[in-house]
Amino acid sequence: MKELTAEDASLLELVDRLLNKGVVLAGEATISVAGIDLIYLGLNVVLAAVETIDKAQERRAS
Amino acid sequence: MTLLAHAIAASPPATLSHAGLRGRPLAWSEAGDLGLWSTEWAPDIKLERPDALEHHRLVERICAAQPCLPVRFGTAFATTDDARASLDKRAAVLHAALTRVAGKSELAVTLLWRELPGPLSIATAAGPGRQYMEARRAEFAAREARRARAESMVDQVVAELAIDRQLVWHETCTSDSVAVSLAVLVPTEQAAERKADLERVAARFPDVIPVLNGPWPPYTFARTE
């Protein structure tokens, strides 16, 4: 596993907030976000945010 | 045309430039005394990594102009009426959330372990079953010790900075690298001072590398569910 650098941590903290925090409005459609895998996988680390996305994708698929 | 949501604010809207994401028009959809800032978007255009960061900059711009609640990135509405209906449904909680974050910004602290967990040494004289169980037990004990240490650092940060617990959110040990991920809601005009305080406290922990971010919009504290 790649060690997480301070720069990685900063980017991941921000991306986590953009994708996992903020107001969730009822009745919305969510546009697919094509580049998100690259945001995370490019860093070669696994954080809670990634797991959250994976779970959400699994829920949508089932 | 769809609306790609950025932030919710109270009406009247602040005066902002008309450029939204990728230079497309920025729109204001009003519902009662609330409104939604969004970009007029084409549904066939996929969002990419730079769009997430541009959304962040847009939300920062909106929050600098008026109190606002960031909307989760990727949220879209087919029509203005859909956006208005969504605000109407949750008007009371959205108002309460706006009041909670008005005049405040979020600071983020990540504490990264200086050393990642290494291999555990188990007595080799034992049989394979015993070795396996001993390894499991040692691994569990090491994980619990790390979690307890992370929680103690959170307690120390909160106590030393005299932060109201309601204005703090945190998670511990979300990965092998991360000890603590913590967010604090602070008055915007004191953000630089509070950030320096946080840096000072976090720098005293010998076993972690502190990474501070923000001030940025109150993403963590905008949740209403």
Which secondary-structure segment (H or E) carries A56? Answer: helix A48-61
pLDDT of residue B120: 63
Chain A interface, mutation test: which of B24, B178, B185, B216, most A Cβ atoms within 10 Å?
Answer: B178
What SS3 class is residue B134? helix
Which of B132, B104, B108, B130 shows the shortest CA–CA distance to B211?
B108
pTM of this prediction exceeds 0.90: no
Judging contacts by C-beta atoms under 8 Å, the chain A residues touching residue B211 are: 6, 9-10, 13
Name the packing angle between helices B191-203 and B128-160 (round to 10°). Answer: 140
Taking the Cβ of residue B77 and every Cβ of chain A, the question of whether any pair is shorter than 8 Å is answered with yes
pLDDT at B48: 80
- Separation of alpha carbons B100 and A23, rounded Å: 13
Q: With CB atoms and an 8 Å threshold, state whether A22 touches B219.
A: yes
Lowest mean pLDDT among B27-41, B68-82, B114-128: B114-128
Domains, chain B, with CATH or none: 2-101 (no CATH), 104-216 (3.30.70)
The enclosing H or E element of B191 equals: helix B191-203
Question: Which of B56, B177, B219 is facing A3, going by the closest CB pair?
Answer: B177
> CB of B74 within 8 Å of any CB in chain A?
yes
Q: What is the pLDDT of residues B21-67, one digit of tens each?
A: 999 999 999 999 999 999 999 878 888 878 888 999 999 999 999 99
Residue ranges with strand state E in chain A: 29-30
The DSSP string of B50-95 is: HHHHHHHHHHHHHHHHS-EEEBPTTEEESSHHHHHHHHHHTHHHHH
The partner residue sitting opposite B69, judged by closest CB among A15, A23, A36, is A23
Question: Of B29 and B117, which is predicted with more confidence?
Answer: B29
Identify the DSSP state of B47: B
Which pLDDT score, from 0 to 100, does residue A57 have? Answer: 52
Structure tokens at A42: 């490019």
- The residue-averaged pLDDT of B155-179 equals 91
- Confirm if B42 and B79 have CB atoms less than 8 A apart: no
Q: What is the pLDDT of residue B125?
A: 67
Angle between helices B80-89 and B91-101 (to 10 degrees): 80
Whole-angstrom Cα distance, residue B57 to residue B182?
21
In 3D space, the residue among B112, B135, B109 whose CA is nearest the CA of residue B124 turns out to be B135
Order of strands, sheet of B168-172, starting from the edge strand that comes earlier in the sequence: B168-172, B178-187, B104-113, B208-216
Distance CA B181, CA B111 (A): 7
Distances B145 to A10, A28, B64, B141, B152 between C-alpha atoms, Å: 26, 42, 42, 6, 11
Average pLDDT over all residues of chain B: 90
- Tokens standing for residue B74: 């990727």
- What is the pLDDT, as a whole number, of residue A62? 60
**What DSSP state is assigned to residue A35?**
T
Q: How far apart are CA B51 and CA B189, in angstroms?
A: 29
pLDDT of residue A27: 47
B189-204 pLDDT tens trace: 999 999 999 999 999 9
Q: Report pLDDT for A55.
A: 54
- The closest CB to that of A48, out of B71, B72, B174, belongs to B174
In angstroms, what CA-CA distances link A2 with A42, A43, A46, B139, B175? 11, 8, 10, 20, 12
User: If you count them, how many residues does chain A have?
Assistant: 62
- Do the beta carbons of residue B143 and residue B210 sit within 8 Å? no
ipTM at complex level: 0.73
Residue A24: what pLDDT? Answer: 79
Q: Which residues of A touch B50 (CB under 8 A)?
A: 35
